[in-house]
Structure 1
Amino acid sequence: MHKENTISEDQGDINSSQQRLLYHQSLDKETRYWLEEDAKYFFHQALSTPVMNVLSKTEGPYIYDLNGKKYLDMHGNGVHNAGFNNPKVVEAMMRQMNESLAFTPRRYTNIPAIQLAKKLAEITPAGLDRVLFCPGGSEAIEMAVMLAKQITGKWKTISFWDAYHGTGYQASAVSGQAHFLKGNGPMVPGALHVEFPNYYRNPWNWTDQRAIDDEYLRQIKLLLRNEPDIAAIVAEPISSTPVVPSAYYWQQIREICDREGIFLIFDEIIEGFGRTGKMFASEHYVTPDVLVLGKSLGGGMLPFAGIVSKSKYNILQDSSIGHFTHEKNPLCCAAGLAEIEYIEENNLVENAAQKGEYLMNTFREMQEKYPIIGNVAGRGFHIGIDLVKDPHTKQRAYEEAERIMYRCMERGLAFKIIEGNVITLRPSLVLSQDQCEFIVNTIEEAIKAEMK
C-alpha cells in the first residue's frame, strides 16, 4: 500500500514496498543470496539499496541478470545513449590505456581532453565554446552556479520545485525535493524556488497554455521584484518526469535573464547527447549561458561531467570554480569523444526523433483506449506516461503503476517509475523499430492485465 511521506516519489520507484518484496521472492536462490549480501554491506537508501536485481552483463540497449535473462532497459541512469558497453567506446578506452595515459595530473593537459573540449565547442549551440570538466553531474552543477555567482557578483538562484540537480550541498539546495534536503540543516542560502510549468497537472486546472505559462512566469517576476541579487535561473529545459514547456515559456525566461543580468543555466545531464531528438534539448528552445552535461559524457563507462559556457566569462583566472583530481582525465575524455562520434556516425539523434515520435503517437492512441493513461508527454526518447485512477480527477495510480512495472519486468522490459505513477522511458538511442514495437506491446499487455 502506498504511504504518504514515507518513501520518496520524486526520483524513483518504491524499493521497500510489498510489490518489491514479492518480486524478490520470485527470484532464484543465487540472486537472492547476492541481494542479501548487497543489503548487508551497503548503506540502505530509498533509491538504491535494497536493489532490484543482480546484473551479469550490460550490452547495447539491454541489461542481463544472473540467469542470462535480458531486459530492454528504459532507464540506464541516462548513461547509455550509444548503448551499454559500446564497442567504439571500449576500443577507445583500451587504446588509451595501452598508450599508458589513463591519468594526467591536474597541472598538465593531454590530447584527448583537448579534443573532447573542442568537440563540445563544435556541437553545442553557437556561442558556447569554453569547457570545464569534473567527475560527476552534482559537481558540474556546483561549477555552473559558482560561475554565475562569480561573474554577476550576485548570490541567489531561482530553480524549480520537484527538480533534481544532484546531492552536493549547492546542487541539493537548487534542487526542489524534500528527499534530498530533509535532515541536513541549513543549506546554501539564497536558493529560491518556483513551480515548473505543467500543462496537465497545473494547480488551476487550466487548459490555455499561454495563460498557464504567464501564471508560472508571474512567480518568477514576483521573486525578481522582491528578491535582489539573483545570479542564475537553474533548470532542465525539459523536466526528468518529463514535463515539456512551451517555446514561449523559455523565450520569456531568456528575455528576463538578458534584461536582468541573470545567468540561464540548463541542466542537460539527462537530456544531452540526442535524447530529445536534438543533440541538446536546449536546441528546441533557447541557448543558455551555461550548459551542464554528464552521464553519457562518460561514454556509458566512466563517471564524467562538465560545463560548456561562453568565452566572455573566461575572466576568473585568479580563482577556481572547479578543482578536481580527474579534471582532464584522458581515459574519461577518450570515452566521451568516442561516444559522441558514435552518436554522430550512426545518426542516433535522428533515430531518437523518428522512433520517439512513433512511440509518442502510439502511446497517445493507447490513451484513447485505456482511461488509466491520463497523459503522455515527452520529446524523442524521453517519454512519460502518467497513470491515473480516474482521468477526470487525475488521481495518481500508485499501486497500479507499480504492478504494471513488475509485469513488464517479467516480460523483459525494465523502466523506472517517477512521482509514484509516471512510467518514464529513457532508452538507449540505438533502438530498432522492432524493439520499439516490443515496448508498446509489452506495456499495453501489462495495462490490459491491470484493467481486468
Structure 2
Amino acid sequence: MKEKLSKNEMIVEGDINLSEARKTWLKDQVSTEAKTLLEKDAKYFMHQALSTPCLDVLANAQGALITNTSGKNYFDFHGNNVHQLGFSHPKLVAALKQQLDALTFSTRRYTNKTAINFAEKLTSLTPGLDKILMTPNGSSAVGIALKLARAVTGKYKVLSFWDSFHGASLDVVSVSGESVFREQMGPMMPGVERIPPPITYRGIYESNEEKALEYLEYILAKDNQIGAFLAETVRNTDAQIPSKHFWKAARKLCDQYGVLLILDEIPIALGRTGKLFAYEHYDIIPDILCLGKGLGGGIIPQAAIVTKKEFDQFNQISLGHYTFEKSPMGAAAAHTTLEIIEGEHLLEHVVYLEGMMQAELNQLQADFELIGDVRGIGLLWGIELVTSRVTKEKASAQAEAIMYECLKNGLSFKVSKGNVLQLCPALTITETQLAEALNILRTAFYKITQA
C-alpha cells in the first residue's frame, strides 16, 4: 500500500494528503475542537483523493487570509483558484445582498436583467467572442464546449494534452489527461487523442516546443475526425507557460485542419496572469473560451462559455440546459467581479507584484540548490524541487516538508506533480502581505535544507 501511495503522490494534481506528515500535522498542529470537527467531517462526508483528510477547520476568510477556529491566520496561496478578488470582498458581498432583496432565481424559459447585463459586460471584454452560456461549474462549461464543437464541426474526436486537468465529471475526465481521475471508472468516452504538452522544464521534449508542434500537426493531419483541441492556455497546476510562438502556431494549425480551439481558462482567467484572459498574452482568439471558479468572486459557483456568434445555430440542441442557467445571483457575482477587477485596477496591481515575486523567487533559486526551476506569470508561480539539477529527480519529500513548515507559520499552498510548490495568492494581496508570505517560504527552505 505504501508503495502505491508513494507513486500516486509523485504524479497527481494536488497536494500530498495521505502521508505520515499529514498524520503528524493533524496530531500536533490542530486544536482539540478542530479535531472533533474533523472527525465528524470524516464521518459524514465521502472520502476522495486530493481532499481527504482535511487539514484544518476554517471559521473565516477575508481578503488574502483564511482563519481557523482557533484564530490562526493563513495566507491562502491556493484558494481553489476562486480568490482573484480575495475572500468576502465587501463590494461583492454588498451586491449579492442587494440581489437577494430582488430576484433570487430565474425559472427556465424566462430571462432577467441581471443575467443580460452580465452577458453584455462579459462579451464587451472578449472581442471576437460574442455569445455565452452560463453554467454552475467549470466541468459543465467544458462539457458544453465539447458538445458545441461536435455540433459545429460534425467531428466527434477531441485532442488534449497528457496530464491535463479540465474537471472531474465523467465526460470531462474522459478527455482530460490526468489519469488519476480515470482510475476504476471503466470505459471512457471514445475518440480522445492526447499529445505531449510544451513543458518548459521537465518532460519528453525538454523545452523543445517545435517538437510539440510537430506532434500536434502530425495528429491533426492523420485524423480528420478531430473536431476540437482542448487545452489550458497556461497550465495552472504546476505553472507551465508556453511561448507566444507555440500558441500562434497551434491556432494556425487548428484553422488549417478545421479544428476548434477550446481554451480552458477556468483557473487562470480574470487577472491571474496579469491580463483579464490568458489568451491575450498570445495575440490569438479561441473558438470557445471556458471560464469558472473566480467568476463568482469566490462566493457563488458560476461558470460560462464564451464563443463566436456564427456558432449560434443549434436552437434544436440542448447544449447546457442547466437549472441555474441564468442565475441572477451568479450573474450578479460575475458582473460585480468584472467591475471590481476593472475599478480597482487589479491587472496593474498584479503586474507590479509579479516583478516582486519573480525577483524574490529567482533569488531563492540562487540560494538553494534544491530548486531546479522557477517559472510563472502574473501571480501564478511554480517552484520545482529536485534532488539534483543534473538528474532532475523529484524532491517530493522535501516539497512536502516545506509545505508543512509553511503551514505551521501561516502560509498555505499546494504541492503539484509531487514536487512543485504552486504559489497562487489572492490578486488583492498587498505588497506588505506578499513580502511576509514570501519570508515564511524562505524561512522554511532554510530550516528544511539545513535539517
Q: Same fold (TM over 0.5)?
A: yes
Q: Which residue of 1 aligns with 2:31?
A: 28
Give yes or no for the alignment of 1:239 onto 2:235: yes
166-175 or 53-62, larger mean C-alpha shift: 166-175
User: Would the aligned equivalents of 2:196 and 2:212 in 1 still touch at CA under 8 Å?
Assistant: yes
Mapped partners of 1:347, 1:389: distance in 2: 41
Gaps of 5+ in 2: none
User: Would the aligned equivalents of 2:12 and 2:418 in 1 still touch at CA under 8 Å?
Assistant: yes
3-state SS of paired residue (1:132): strand
What is the Cα deviation at residue 202 of structure 1? 2.9
Give yes or no for the alignment of 1:163 onto 2:156: no
Q: Which residue of 1 aligns with 2:344?
A: 346
User: Would the aligned equivalents of 1:42 and 1:49 in 2 still touch at CA under 8 Å?
Assistant: no
Q: Which residue of 2 aligns with 1:95?
A: 98
Query: For each residue in 1:40-85, what CA deviation from the matched residue of structure 2 results, as whole angstroms up to 9, or x when unmatched?
Result: 1111112112111100001111100001111110011011111111
What is the Cα deviation at residue 245 of structure 1? 0.5
Mapped partners of 1:349, 1:219: distance in 2: 35
* Letter of the 2:266 counterpart: I
Q: Which residue of 2 aligns with 1:10?
A: 12
Structure 2 counterpart of 1:116, from 112, 118, 139: 118
Q: Which residue of 2 aligns with 1:105?
A: 107
Mapped partners of 2:209, 2:403: distance in 1: 33
Mapped partners of 2:409, 2:8: distance in 1: 30
3-state SS of paired residue (1:5): helix
Query: For each residue in 1:379-420, what CA deviation from the matched residue of structure 2 results, as whole angstroms up to 9, or x when unmatched?
Result: 101111101111111111111111101111111111111011
3-state SS of paired residue (1:148): helix
User: Would the aligned equivalents of 1:8 and 1:46 in 2 still touch at CA under 8 Å?
Assistant: no
Mapped partners of 2:357, 2:297: distance in 1: 25
1-10 or 342-351, larger mean C-alpha shift: 1-10
Distance 1:324 1:204, change over 3 A: closer
Give yes or no for the alignment of 1:186 onto 2:187: yes
User: Would the aligned equivalents of 1:232 and 1:265 in 2 still touch at CA under 8 Å?
Assistant: yes
Q: Which residue of 1 aligns with 2:255?
A: 258
Q: Which residue of 2 aligns with 1:329?
A: 327
Q: Which residue of 1 aligns with 2:300?
A: 302
Mapped partners of 2:383, 2:8: distance in 1: 24
* Letter of the 1:331 counterpart: M
Q: Which residue of 2 aligns with 1:79?
A: 82
Mapped partners of 1:266, 1:117: distance in 2: 19
* Letter of the 1:113 counterpart: A
Q: Which residue of 2 aligns with 1:384?
A: 382
Mapped partners of 2:243, 2:52: distance in 1: 37
User: Would the aligned equivalents of 2:402 and 2:448 in 1 still touch at CA under 8 Å?
Assistant: yes
Q: Which residue of 2 aligns with 1:174?
A: 175
Mapped partners of 1:203, 1:334: distance in 2: 44
* Letter of the 1:71 counterpart: Y
User: Would the aligned equivalents of 2:160 and 2:194 in 1 still touch at CA under 8 Å?
Assistant: yes
User: Would the aligned equivalents of 1:14 and 1:46 in 2 still touch at CA under 8 Å?
Assistant: no
Q: Which residue of 1 aligns with 2:436?
A: 438
3-state SS of paired residue (1:296): helix
Give yes or no for the alignment of 1:226 onto 2:228: no
Mapped partners of 1:170, 1:176: distance in 2: 12
Mapped partners of 1:444, 1:111: distance in 2: 49
Mapped partners of 1:343, 1:127: distance in 2: 21
Mapped partners of 1:416, 1:83: distance in 2: 17
3-state SS of paired residue (1:180): helix
Mapped partners of 1:36, 1:169: distance in 2: 29
* Letter of the 1:112 counterpart: T
Q: Which residue of 1 aligns with 2:134?
A: 133
3-state SS of paired residue (2:276): coil
* Letter of the 1:169 counterpart: L
Q: Which residue of 2 aligns with 1:143?
A: 144
* Letter of the 2:75 counterpart: L
Give the root-mean-square deviation of aligned CA atoms: 1.3
Mapped partners of 2:163, 2:35: distance in 1: 34
What TM-score comes out, normalization by structure 2 length? 0.96
Equivalent pairs counted in the alignment come to: 445
What is the Cα deviation at residue 349 of structure 1? 1.3
Mapped partners of 2:420, 2:199: distance in 1: 14
Distance 1:439 1:154, change over 3 A: same
What is the Cα deviation at residue 170 of structure 1? 2.1
What is the Cα deviation at residue 335 of structure 1? 1.1
After TM superposition, which residue ranges in structure 1, 4 or more long, deviate above 3 angstroms? 1-9
User: Would the aligned equivalents of 2:385 and 2:394 in 1 still touch at CA under 8 Å?
Assistant: yes
* Letter of the 2:209 counterpart: D
What is the Cα deviation at residue 200 of structure 1? 1.0
